[in-house]
């Protein structure tokens, strides 16, 4: 299975925001869309960074004042990205090795989608259920 297959099921919608968005506004944005991370974009860079719930929690360790700070202070700037033609297996490896839960999908420098660990798990469960059904059908037909 390819990353493009996952995006074909879930869609290509990506929530983005600018680096000057406050952490407080980010919390509202995450809650509004029921998501765990947002891509940080500028006019020059479609993926200037990524900011997640984890980043917020780490920022709160320094104090609640972080809520009024721009997300540029807590965002991750070294973003691991993927190509839609890569395998989901390779994506799982990337997520595990780098301990990331959200990976933007980029095509020719343009943001094409985002895949979360939940999307990967859902697709993997679908594959396993399909294989199980195929094996069950094969066993039933050979008896």
Q: Find tokens 């990353």 and name the residue.
A: 3
Which residues are CB-neighbours of 67 under 8 A, at least 6 positions away?
Answer: 22, 23, 24, 27, 60
> Can you give the pTM of this predicted structure?
0.85
Segment 32-70, tens digit of pLDDT: 999 999 999 998 999 999 999 999 999 999 999 999 999
At how many degrees (to 10) do helices 3-10 and 117-142 cross?
100
Calpha distance 120→82 (Å, rounded): 13
Give the domain CATH number at 73: 3.10.580.10
44 is in which domain, residue-wise? 3-142
List the pLDDT tens digit at each of the 143 positions of the chain.
899 999 998 888 999 999 999 999 999 999 999 999 999 999 899 999 999 999 999 999 999 999 999 999 999 999 999 999 999 999 999 999 999 999 999 999 899 999 999 999 888 887 777 778 788 877 887 76
Core vs surface per residue 45-81: b (16+ CB within 10 A) or e: ebbbbbbbebbbeebeeeeeebeeebbbebbbeebeb
Can you say how many angstroms the Cα of residue 134 is from the centroid of all Cα atoms in its chain? Answer: 30
Residue 87 Ramachandran class (φ > 0 left, ψ -120 to 50 alpha, else beta): beta
Domain count across the chain: 1
- Phi–psi pair at 69, nearest 5 degrees: -85, 160
């Amino acid at each position: 299975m390819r990353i493009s297959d996952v995006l074909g099921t879930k869609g290509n919608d990506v929530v983005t925001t600018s680096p000057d968005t406050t952490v407080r506004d980010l919390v509202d944005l995450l809650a509004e869309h029921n998501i765990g991370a947002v891509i940080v974009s500028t006019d020059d860079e479609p993926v200037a960074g990524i900011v997640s719930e984890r980043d917020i929690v780490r920022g709160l360790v320094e104090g609640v004042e972080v809520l009024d700070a721009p997300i540029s202070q807590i965002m991750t700037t070294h973003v691991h990205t993927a190509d839609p033609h890569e395998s989901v297996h390779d994506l799982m490896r990337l997520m595990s090795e780098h301990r990331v839960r959200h990976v933007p999908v980029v095509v020719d420098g343009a943001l094409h989608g985002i895949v979360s660990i939940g999307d990967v798990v859902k697709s993997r469960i679908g594959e396993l259920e399909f294989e199980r059904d195929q094996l069950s059908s094969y066993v039933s037909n050979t008896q």
